[in-house]
Amino acid sequence: MGKVRKENGKDSAAFRRAVWRKLKRDRYLYLMLLPAALVTIVFAYIPMGGLIMAFQDFDIFKGFLHSPWVGLKNFSNIFTQAKFLKSVWNTLMCGVLCLLICFPAPIILALLINELKDGIFKKFSQTISYLPHFLSMISVVGLVYMLFGRDGFVNDVYLALGGAERVTFLARQELFIWFVIGVVFWKETGWGTVIHLANLSSISPELYEAASIDGATRLQKMRFITLPHMKPTVIILLIFQMGTIFNSNFELIYGLQNPYVDFEVISTIVYQTGIKGGNYSMSTALGFAQGLVALVLVLGSNGLAKKMTGNGIL
């Protein structure tokens, strides 16, 4: 690039020739990039244009050009219609509870794994704890259905402990959110330790030895060596997590939903009102608002992380 600019000063015809030469030289590079670029433009950028539906009363037969404009009506509906507002609230609840419970869990588990002696038992514990991550969300939902179903093991235990009759736990409104959190916790905690363990293994043993010589206790070593070492990674992961606080887990919640429970989050409402109900504009507006909030959260927490640690992810 630098060379091209220098030539630019001399003569614009020579500059054009140089650019052309470069483009021609790299023609196969552009060719190889073409599939990725096409897929990105068609499947990522064109739908962004479709967001104008959120400001229209979109009719699929009239198309984008002839559908009437309604301004911000669809957005104000989010705050005036109870079912939308409720879904926003439920989404936020899931996100915050996940952040509070499912985010710290792998950190603690990694510290505990780190305390195990190297050997078969440690390897085996790790291997088993990673397993649920690889199962599809719907098969995990299936496990939950069967474990907590009327004839399931949890009911067997409940009866054995003196429960009066078999209970359909999944049909309990007040338990639903805990099933959601519980599945995420069960499925992802083990896998979440991988990155922390990789991080822990990079701490030089000499640091611990030096601390021991100075008479530091185990807790002091953890407080002054281990935790500070983990901090940057934890903060970066926290940023990712903050960005996803509004991305309700559709697969999980849709999977667990059943006729006895009324628990909608933004993504399930978008699906129900949009694809099932045909109210494209309203669900696009809801999805758009969710996307914007997620973007603001990612950018905001990234800025925060930059201030705190001097490095962000963007």
Partner 1 sequence: MTKHDSVSRRIFYVCNVIFFLLLIAVVLFPYLNILAKALNDGKDTAMGGITIFPRRPTFENFTTVLGDKSFGRAFLTSACIVVAGTLLNLLVQFMAAYVFMNKQFIGHKVLLYLFMVPMYFGGGLIPQYILYSKLGLLNNYLVYVLPGCFSVYNMIIIRSYLNSIPASLAESARVDGANDLRIAFRIILPLAKPVLATVALWVAVALWNDWLTTLYFVTKKEMFTLQYVLMQVLKEAEKIQAIIKEAAMRGEVVNIKSNITTESVKSAQLIVTTVPIIIMYPFLQKYFIQGITLGAVKD
Query: Residue 119 — left, alpha, or beta (φ > 0 → left; ψ -120 to 50 → alpha)?
Result: left
| Residue 299: CB minimum distance to partner 1, A | 8
Q: Does 128 bind partner 1 (CB under 8 A)?
A: yes
CB count within 10 Å of CB 207 equals: 14
| Residue 136: CB minimum distance to partner 1, A | 3
134, 164, 206, 214: residue in contact with partner 1 (rule CB under 8 A): 134
Nearest alpha-carbon partner for 184 in 262, 250, 261: 250
Q: Which of residues 89-108 bind partner 1 (CB under 8 A)?
A: none
92, 101, 103, 149: residue in contact with partner 1 (rule CB under 8 A): 149
Pair 189, 109: CB distance under 8 Å = yes
Residue 99 or 182: the one with the smaller Cβ distance to partner 1 is 182
| Residue 110: CB minimum distance to partner 1, A | 13
- The site string for partner 1 over 49-88 (x = CB under 8 A, - otherwise) reads xxx-x------x----------------------------
Region binding partner 1 by CB under 8 A among candidate stretches 6-14, 36-44, 91-99, 173-181: 36-44
- The site string for partner 1 over 171-210 (x = CB under 8 A, - otherwise) reads ---------------x---x---xx--xx-----------
Q: Mention every residue, 6+ apart, whose C-beta is less than 8 A from residue 236.
A: 305, 312, 313
